[in-house]
């Protein structure tokens, strides 16, 4: 449907160009106060209350203290892993590290670390490498015949 248009024959479709509504000039429902109510700040041109204004009350952004040191950006998150989970997922002689725990989907996240807690029992000989563990869970792992690399660095007093 290719038509040849000349320069003067192109017109906008009906309804595309509408006349601007001029308020306050006596039009129906657009005269006098023009739908803005009676008086006040919002009836004026350009009049409005900014979003954080609380009616003269001391605003929240001035009430809340914003000083001092926050450790939040440096916070290290640990996900708890129980001994019963290790016993269920790993085989005899497996190495338990952060990567193996992520591979077995016991922990998730990019920068998360794991901590082994002594919930449940363990009967398999596992090698713990680079994962924090509570003192009682380390005892259970060693009692079951497993071993812990760098035990002093991982051992955490409760």
For residue 152, the model assigns a pLDDT of 45
User: Rounded distance, CA 150 to CA 40, Å?
Assistant: 73
| pLDDT at site 153 | 42
- Identify the pLDDT of residue 43: 86
Residue 131: name the closest of 17, 94, 53 by CA. Answer: 94
The Cβ of residue 138 has, within 10 Å, a number of other Cβ atoms equal to 20
Residues with pLDDT less than 50, the chain: 151-154, 158
What is the Cα–Cα distance from 44 to 24, expressed in whole angstroms? 12
CA 146-150-154 angle, to 5 degrees, is: 95
Distance, CA of 119 to CA of 71 (rounded, Å): 30
pLDDT reported for residue 3: 65
Q: For residue 139, give Cα distances in angstroms to 83, 91, 120, 136, 153.
A: 11, 19, 13, 5, 15
Q: Write down the pTM of the prediction.
A: 0.53
pLDDT value of position 155: 52
Q: Which pLDDT value is given to residue 59?
A: 94
């Amino acid at each position: 449907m290719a038509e040849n248009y000349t320069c003067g024959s192109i017109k906008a479709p009906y309804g595309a160009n509408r006349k601007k509504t001029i308020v306050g000039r006596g039009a129906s429902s657009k005269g006098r106060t023009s739908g803005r109510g009676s008086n006040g700040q919002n009836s004026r041109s350009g009049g409005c209350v900014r979003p954080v204004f609380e009616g003269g009350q001391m605003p929240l952004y001035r009430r809340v203290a914003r000083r001092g040191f926050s450790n939040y950006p440096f916070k290290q998150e640990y996900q708890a892993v129980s001994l019963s989970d290790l016993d269920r997922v790993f085989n005899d002689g497996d190495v338990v590290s952060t990567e193996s725990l992520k591979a077995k989907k016991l922990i998730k996240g990019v920068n998360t670390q794991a901590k082994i807690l002594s919930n449940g029992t363990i009967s398999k000989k596992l090698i713990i490498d680079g994962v924090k563990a509570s003192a009682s869970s380390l005892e259970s792992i060693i009692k079951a015949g497993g071993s812990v690399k760098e035990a002093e660095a991982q051992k955490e007093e409760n």
